[in-house]
Each structure stands twice: as structure tokens, then as C-alpha cells.
Amino acid sequence: MAGTEPTTWVLVDGENIDATLGGSILGRRPHPEERPRWDRVLAYLAGRWNQQARGLFFLNASTNLPMPFIQALLALGYQPVPLSGDADEKVVDIAIQRTLQALRERAGDVVLVSHDGDFVEDVGALLDGRRIGVMGFAEFRNAAFGELPGVEFFDLEYDVDAFDAQLPRVRIIPIDEFDPDRFLR
């Protein structure tokens, strides 16, 4: 695509991240300071890969359209993708899979913000020389992503610093990253 600015497409599986944060990490509904600062995700990736980052935020709007959240996403530079379908349809997964498949025919790098193994095959199909990333919480990422050669992994809290509060996570710490001050608070 001559004449276009290089782009990183950021596909956010809002349901998956919210469920992991609330259900697996906090065990309750997150407080405002415990929610990701989605603008930091785009800024981090734009700086990391030195090109514009365009965010698509997929959410299930089958029962309602959360207008305040939609307006906030728009203000942060995301394109909200509100979806609806039957109760037994995983509309967010279907839409992300279709988007990953459509990106095969388009230029640009891709970062998937999800832990869901349903996307492994489609992410793998994008490994054609472009940069591909998977972002989320490392300990909840589907292990099959690790089998894809060349995929870069980003942790929402530790790499992106997307939270205003430290989350109660337990992880294996590489000794080069160990900071005793984190434990002496």
C-alpha cells in the first residue's frame, strides 16, 4: 500500500480481558484504578514498533450498548466494534477471527489483546514477515501461542504499565527483573 503510514492493528477482546481481570486475578469486579488504561496500550505499541497503532475494541452489545464506554473508547482513539447475536454465539470471537482473516490481505503489523486459544490458528496464519504480538496477562495466555515462532508477547501490567494500581498477581520473576522494592511496600 504505497503512500500509507505503517500501521499496527490492535485487536482488543474486551470480554476476555475483563473476565480474566475480574474473575481470575481480582475475584471481583475491578475498581476504576484496577481497569486497564487503554490509551496506554496504543501509546506503548506506537512507541515500541515506531508506527501508528490503530485500535479495534470488540465488545458484546447483544443486551445493551454501553454508550459511556463507547464514547470513552472513541476519545482514546479506538474504533469500538459493538456486536450482537444469539445467546449461544460468541460474537466477539467470531468478529475477531474474521478480522484476523481479513488482515491477511492487508498490510500492517498485528497485536491481539486476548488470552483465548480460539485465535491461535488465525494469528499463526499472519506470520508472513510482519510483526505479530499477543498482549494480556502472561500467566493466563493460552500456551499454544508460545508455539508460534516469532510472536512477541506483551504483559498489560508489567510491560505496558496499563494500570494505575498494582494488581494482586503472582508470577515467576526472571532474576534480571527482580526488584525487591516491589515486595517491601
Q: What is the CATH number of the domain that holds 151?
A: 3.40.50.1010
Residue 73 placed within a domain = yes
Domain coverage including residue 134: 7-182
Mean pLDDT of the chain: 93
Residue 127 placed within a domain = yes
Residue 177 placed within a domain = yes
Is it the case that residue 2 has pLDDT exceeding 50? Answer: no
Residue 1 placed within a domain = no
Q: Buried b vs exposed e over 147-176: b needs ≥16 C-beta within 10 Å?
A: ebeebeebbbbbebebbeeeeeeeeeeeee
pLDDT tens per residue, range 144-153: 999 999 999 9
pLDDT tens per residue, range 73-129: 999 999 999 999 998 999 999 999 999 999 999 999 999 999 999 999 999 999 999
Residue 178 placed within a domain = yes
The CA distance from 81 to 60, in Å, is 9
Q: Which residues pair with 9 in a beta bridge?
A: 54, 110
The CA distance from 36 to 59, in Å, is 15
Residue 111 placed within a domain = yes
**Pick from 136, 135, 130: nearest CA to 150:** 130
Q: Could you give the number of structural domains in the chain? A: 1
pTM beyond 0.85: the answer is yes
Task: For the chain, give the longest Cα–Cα distance.
Answer: 53
Residue 2 placed within a domain = no
Residue 30 half-sphere exposure toward CB, CA atoms < 13 A: 21
Residue 132 placed within a domain = yes
Helices (H), 50-165: 67-75, 91-103, 120-124
